[in-house]
Amino acid sequence: MLLVLMAMAVAFTAANLYYYQPLLPALRDDLSLSDTQLGLVPFATQIGYAAAILLISPLGDVMPHRKLIGLLSCLLVGALVLQATTVSGLILVLGTFLMGLGANITQQLIPLAASMSSPQQRGRVLGTLMSGLTAGILLSRVLSGSIAEHMGWRAVYWMAAATALIWGLLLWRLLPNESSRVAGMRYPALIGSMFTLLRRHALLRVSALTGALWFAAFNAVWASLSLHLTNAPLNLNLQQAGMFGIAGMAGIVGAKVSGRWVGSLGTWRTICSALLVLLVGTLVMWGYSYSLIGLVIGIVLIDLGVFAAQVPNQVRVFAIEPSAQSRLNAVYMLFYYLGAAIGSASGVQLMTAYGWPGVMGLSVALSASALLLHVAMRWTDKSFESAAA
């Protein structure tokens, strides 16, 4: 029961990082944002999240997750209220950055669940949490677009603030108050140990870099999709653009199924299959840019591939050093969301400069690079092959 509640909390917290995507046209018009300011909204979201992963996530190894999540919940609620009441692009970007910091709650819950599970159960446990993460990411777009269409974009952030407050109180009440695993380590040494882990483990470096590449491709598509859908010749409204989140629900299936396949296929084969699906999805969306059916099929494949790759990638990262799971997750997710920040900002900029073909050219290149790196490491480094099996 606690695992289900944690998965739901991950879903509602992660949703905050993606509410903005169907709102970009409305934010641009209502706040008179330039193309550069508009691109800063997705960039600030992911940079804030990446900064929290670097500076806050490692604290999960030295202080109780329950206390840390309580503090992050306060920050998240305040940031969402700031976004709901903003009167300028600068305040919006600041609130977005702070919201990215507060959403680090997800990166406390994931290693907590991993530490509470046995190695044999870890794939299924992470699959459940990643299903929640996927649901939050994808349903956020449907919910955001629908609320904005009928009640305005500010109502989206007021709803998000109320939801964050409720979940913050629930987690404070229900989570175990566990002891830290690396008590006594000073904060500078804690942060420095993350770079030691990165230098020591080739598997961590490759997992982090491939994850960054495929998540950059994913975010380049999603950050630009509402602009593409609301432009001519498709001319959809915000609610219709947000409904594309339903097509992306395939990611839930990908996360759940890959969590079960890890034990039988191994992490390398599962990731390889998922990245092939991602690459095909980006090619479909590029080739059928103005076909709603083609775009829906492409989104299904992209989300299926990304979240099917995510679970086995995290399983092999958590197995590197069980006593450092928060820091391993922090290193991995730092790369992951730096990729997201670069992909989101680049996608919006390419959309304004070159249109949808520019966005999809970038996404295809990033997806292919992730697949090639994953395959190349298997065949060129035998020690990596045995570790990644």
| pLDDT (tens place) for every residue of the chain, 389 residues total | 788 899 999 999 999 998 988 898 899 889 988 878 888 888 898 889 889 988 998 888 788 888 999 999 999 999 999 999 998 889 999 999 999 999 999 989 988 887 777 776 777 787 788 778 878 877 787 889 889 988 999 999 999 999 999 999 999 998 887 655 555 678 888 888 888 999 999 899 999 999 999 999 999 998 899 899 988 899 898 778 877 877 767 767 776 676 667 666 788 888 999 999 999 999 999 999 999 999 999 999 998 899 889 888 988 888 888 778 788 988 998 898 889 889 988 998 999 899 999 999 999 999 999 999 999 887 655 445 444 45
Q: What is the pLDDT of residue 316?
A: 87
In whole angstroms, what is the distance from residue 197 CA to residue 186 CA?
Answer: 17
Contact call for residues 50 and 334 (beta carbons, < 8 A): yes
In whole angstroms, what is the distance from residue 38 CA to residue 153 CA?
Answer: 15
- Cα–chain-centroid distance for residue 219? 9
Q: What secondary structure, in 3-state letters, does 109-135 show?
A: HHHHHHHCCCCCCHHHHHHHHHHHHHH
Q: What is the CA radius of gyration of the chain?
A: 20
Q: What is the pLDDT of residue 116?
A: 77
Token pair 């269409």 in the structure block, residue: 149
Q: Which 8-state DSSP code applies to residue 317?
A: H
Contact call for residues 146 and 27 (beta carbons, < 8 A): no
Q: What is the pLDDT of residue 251?
A: 67
Q: What is the pLDDT of residue 170?
A: 94
In whole angstroms, what is the distance from residue 371 CA to residue 167 CA?
Answer: 37
Question: Reduced to 3 DSSP states, what percent helix, strand and coil does the chain have, rounded to the nearest 5?
Answer: 85, 0, 15
- Where do the domains of the chain lie, and which CATH numbers do they carry? 2-387 (1.20.1250.20)
